[in-house]
Amino acid sequence: MRIPSFAPLLCCLLLPLSMPTHAATSPPATAPASQGLGITTMQLIDGLQPQKREDSRLATGEAREMVTLSKISTLEVIGPARNVSRWSLMFGMPADDNQAAMLSYMTATVTLANTFPAWRGDADNPGKWLVAAVKQLAKNINKNRNDPAPVLKSRDGRKIKLQILPALGGIMILSVEPK
């Protein structure tokens, strides 16, 4: 199977998640203070093998780093590298490529485990939650194919959200932000 490049779609998908970088006015000299997740970018990507890392800024001046993890997964990290304020992982789960689907599952699980270190080893760990969340998304798609409801979870003062974009071939977005 040829896995399509999602690079052209990345801008369209991430703009709703964050503000565009091409604002008509100049961004402020300093980024606004934001509540962080209490983890660094290096802690967030620990155990993953980034293929490419690019820094950019939001129109507000807030730091953003785009981390390409594979041909079908990209991580958007918002906030200073020393205290990430929020992140979004865009990934594919191809039904006809088990190896690529497993890589996406492992990438999402590791990213969640790195964000919530105390969640590891629990009966309800990031991997088990992700499997249950994907199953719930499938049910949500059956209810409303064009705009399925996302799956939400609160943990440690943070909001976890898993959503699927059926119009773009079932691309999933996993995000974590403070409540």
Over residues 66-101, the pLDDT tens digits come to 999 999 999 999 999 999 999 999 999 888 999 999
pLDDT one-digit tens code per residue, 53-69: 999 999 999 999 999 99
Which uninterrupted H or E stretch holds 103?
helix 98-115
- The pLDDT value recorded for residue 170 is 83
Residue type, 116: F
- The pLDDT value recorded for residue 52 is 97
Within 10 A of 47 (CB to CB), how many other CB atoms are there?
Answer: 11
Tokens of 33: 């203070």
Look up the domain containing 99 and give its range.
Answer: 35-178
Is residue 81 a part of any domain in this protein?
A: yes
Examine the pLDDT at 12 and tell me if it is beyond 60: no
Q: How far is CA 142 from CA 53, 138, 166, 167, in A?
A: 37, 6, 11, 14
Residue type, 81: A
Within 10 A of 100 (CB to CB), how many other CB atoms are there?
Answer: 19
Structure-model confidence comparison of residues 12 and 59, the more confident one: 59
Is residue 26 a part of any domain in this protein?
A: no
Examine the pLDDT at 19 and tell me if it is beyond 70: no
Examine the pLDDT at 162 and tell me if it is beyond 90: yes
pLDDT category, 51, cuts 50, 70, 90?
A: very high
Is residue 30 a part of any domain in this protein?
A: no
Number of H helices, E strands in the chain: 4, 7
Is residue 98 a part of any domain in this protein?
A: yes
Do 151 and 162 meet the contact criterion of CB atoms below 8 Å apart?
Answer: yes
Examine the pLDDT at 129 and tell me if it is beyond 90: yes
Within 10 A of 70 (CB to CB), how many other CB atoms are there?
Answer: 17
Is residue 146 a part of any domain in this protein?
A: yes
Is residue 3 a part of any domain in this protein?
A: no
Count of domains for the chain = 1
Which uninterrupted H or E stretch holds 63?
strand 63-70
Is residue 18 a part of any domain in this protein?
A: no
Is residue 92 a part of any domain in this protein?
A: yes
